[in-house]
Amino acid sequence: MRVAIIGATGSIGTQALDVASEHPERFTVVALAAGSESERFSTLRSAHPHAHAITGGSREDLVALIEASAPDLVLVASTGLVALPATLAALRGGAAVAIANKETIVAGGELVIAAAREAAARVGTSVLERLRPVDSEHSALWQCLAGEDPASVATLWLTASGGPFRERGAAEIAMATAEEALAHPTWTMGAKITIDSASLVNKGLEVIEAHRLFAVPMAQIHIAIHPQSVVHGLVEFTGGSTKAQLGVPDMRSPIAYAMGYPERMATRVRSVNLLERGTLSFDAPDLVRFPGLRLALEAGTRGQAATGTLIAADDVAVTRFLAGEMRFGGIPALIEAALTQFAHAASPRDAADVLALDEEVRTFARGWRPSAALARGTHA
Ligand code: NDP
Ligand code: MG
């Protein structure tokens, strides 16, 4: 199978290459893309001398890369929306897409799902075989849904570790700094998603992702705070039965499931040892202490213009927070301001609309000023 990896040097990209290298008889890496020239990227170039390799590519460059390399499978593991047109091009060109990049599904999901649906009808497979979730919770739900009748699905549950601020008070969370927010208790990930996990915005994005990928209404998708990160997702079916997926927190497992589907490939990830794990706990999320989660869930019920606004505002907010321009509470404050400002934005009809809204929201978010309390004590 010919594989293209967009975001090859990142946390997910690196682990995907690790999975591919364990199955050299199965995968040939035909394209590699990263944001910048780095030592890691030049090592990858040497390891895959026949692959098309680009850095700092534009949206159009990434489309050209997919067209030139003719992959069977594209792993989308970049950040932001740079790979949205390439994702659509891959699906339309007949490749399966393993999607880690949640920005694409949250901002442009309806378009991507429509492209996946058409592709699935063309080749006679399921939508999820064409557009394969990589995110651990969505992989869990996909695994629970395998072989089930969609009409018998009552409720989806996603778990969240709760992040480093799980037990802190609202005021303390609002005043937190980047260093505190970057200390994730269970997963090692890129900086953006680590901050989103601390604010629980990530979980809101994931509920939206699940809503789009599995075509289940927002109101039927629930969150459980589960600090051990062992159960990743659950599906309740008609008749009172619930299925859950368990695994140690290691992304190589969901990456391998997406890359090998429908086969379960061997990985170096070990199974959960329930006897060693001991107690597993589950709690309801607190939408008051984590206003970013409340805002994300509200945006999810309002459609693609609101979810596109959410993801662009959050991205700029996280960048400004990491740059020390504001305290942690500035993130939900900025998201709320953007959702109000763009409350009447028209729903995007194509990729150009999605990207235009994204740019408008980013411009607004870069100019937004935090309150004095949220800016205080930072080095702005
Ligand atoms: P990282 O920040 O670790 O990696 C991002 C990757 O994208 C890097 O390889 C980066 O290259 C590359 N990139 C940046 N710009 C471009 C471009 N123009 N063309 C091609 N590649 C580019 O992020 P993560 O791996 O953590 O996350 C990737 C995506 O997966 C995100 O959307 C995230 O939400 C999602 N995700 C991540 C999880 C995780 O465990 N990490 C779990 C679930 C989802 P360079 O290094 O040169 O800048
Ligand atoms: Mg996740």
pLDDT tens track for 58-77? 999 999 999 999 999 999 99
Instruction: Say how far apart CA 138 and CA 151 lie, in whole Å.
Output: 19
Once rounded to an integer, what is the mean pLDDT over residues 183-194? 82
- pLDDT of 326 > 90? The answer is yes
- Cβ–ligand 1 distance for 101 under 6 Å, the answer yes
Identify the pLDDT of residue 380: 43
CA 207 – ligand 1 centroid, Å: 20
- Cβ–ligand 1 distance for 6 under 6 Å, the answer yes
Identify the pLDDT of residue 308: 97
For the chain, what percent of residues have pLDDT higher than 70?
A: 99
Pick the CATH number of 2-134 from 3.30.70.2740, 3.40.50.720, 1.20.58.220, 3.30.1180.20: 3.40.50.720
Sign, Cα dihedral of 274, 193, 44, 50: positive
Instruction: Say how far apart CA 236 and CA 243 lie, in whole Å.
Output: 7
Write a three-state SS string for the chain: CEEEEECCCCHHHHHHHHHHHCCCCCCEEEEEEECCCCHHHHHHHHHCCCCEEEECCCHHHHHHHHHHHCCCEEEECCCCCCCHHHHHHHHHCCCEEEECCHHHHHHHHHHHHHHHHHHHHHHCCCHHHHEEECCHHHHHHHHHHCCCCHHHEEEEEEEECCCCCCCCCHHHHHCCCHHHHCCCCCCCCCHHHHHHHHHCHHHHHHHHHHHHHHCCCHHHEEEEECCCCCEEEEEEECCCCEEEEECCCCCHHHHHHHHHCCCCCCCCCCCCCHHHHCCCCCECCCCCCCHHHHHHHHHHHHCHHHHHHHHHHHHHHHHHHHCCCCCCCHHHHHHHHHHHHCCCCCCCCCHHHHHHHHHHHHHHHHHCCCCHHHHCCCCC
Identify the pLDDT of residue 188: 76
Nearest CA, atom 17, ligand 1: 35
pLDDT band at 184 (very low <50, low <70, confident <90, very high): confident
CA 11 – ligand 1 centroid, Å: 6
Q: How many residues does the chain have?
A: 380
For residue 82, give the ligand nearest its CA.
Answer: 1
Give residue-wise pLDDT tens across range 267-298.
999 999 999 989 999 999 999 999 999 999 99
For residue 223, give the ligand nearest its CA.
Answer: 2
Once rounded to an integer, what is the mean pLDDT over residues 67-95? 97
For residue 186, give the ligand nearest its CA.
Answer: 1
This prediction has a pTM of 0.96
For residue 188, give the ligand nearest its CA.
Answer: 1
Q: In sequence order, which ranges of 146-233 are alpha helices (DSSP H)?
A: 170-174, 178-181, 191-199, 201-214
Taking the CA of residue 56 as reference, the ligand 1 atom at the shortest distance is 18
Average pLDDT over the chain reads 96
CA 203 – ligand 2 centroid, Å: 7
Identify the pLDDT of residue 186: 76
Give residue-wise pLDDT tens across range 208-232.
999 999 999 999 999 999 999 999 9
Question: 28-42, 173-187, 275-289, 322-336 — which is least confidently predicted?
Answer: 173-187
pLDDT band at 185 (very low <50, low <70, confident <90, very high): confident
Once rounded to an integer, what is the mean pLDDT over residues 148-155? 97
For a substitution probing ligand 1, which of 193, 195, 229 has the most ligand atoms within 8 Å of its CB? 193
- Cβ–ligand 1 distance for 280 under 6 Å, the answer no
- Cβ–ligand 1 distance for 38 under 6 Å, the answer yes
For a substitution probing ligand 1, which of 39, 75, 187, 189 has the most ligand atoms within 8 Å of its CB? 189
- Cβ–ligand 1 distance for 193 under 6 Å, the answer yes
CA 252 – ligand 2 centroid, Å: 13
Once rounded to an integer, what is the mean pLDDT over residues 107-111? 92
Identify the pLDDT of residue 379: 52
Q: What are the domain boundaries of the chain?
A: 2-134
Identify the pLDDT of residue 190: 83
For the chain, what percent of residues have pLDDT higher than 90?
A: 94
